């Protein structure tokens, strides 16, 4: 098991670029295809803590499920937003790279470099 994990969508160019930066730097990361194996609510809460962001900050606001689920409603709690991401993993911003107790979003992909030092 690697000390790095990437929550990856191979159809996403930013996700592919982030993975390539890891490979180019000699990092063999565990790859989680999160659309096939979505994280649980508990796992998402752990990721959010490592990222240091709110559930709302992890939402992909351009997805149809965001609009269809009325997720722009600011009265929704983090737990409600997390439940929406568990039910519809396309809502999760990607890629997420984790190393130990830290994580970064690969937007831009170069953000991953902060985990390599």
- Residues with a catalytic annotation lie at 12
Phi and psi at residue 24, to the nearest 5°: -65, -25
What would the two tokens of residue 65 be? 């499920």
Q: Find the helix or strand (DSSP H, E) in which 17 lies.
A: helix 13-24
Query: How many angstroms separate the CA atoms of 21 and 36, rounded?
Result: 23
* Cα first-last separation, the chain: 20
**Widest CA span of the chain, in angstroms?**
44
Beta bridge partners of 91: none
């Amino acid at each position: 098991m690697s000390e790095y994990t990437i929550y990856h969508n191979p159809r996403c160019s930013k996700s592919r670029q982030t993975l390539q930066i890891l490979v180019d730097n000699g990092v063999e990361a565990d790859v989680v295809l999160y659309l096939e194996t979505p994280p649980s609510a508990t796992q998402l809460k752990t990721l959010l803590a490592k990222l240091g962001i709110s559930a709302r900050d992890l939402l992909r606001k351009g997805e149809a499920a965001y609009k269809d689920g009325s997720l722009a409603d600011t009265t929704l709690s983090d737990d409600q937003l997390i439940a929406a991401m568990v039910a519809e993993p396309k809502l999760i911003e990607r890629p997420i790279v984790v190393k130990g107790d830290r994580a970064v979003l690969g937007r831009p992909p170069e953000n991953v470099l902060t985990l390599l030092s």
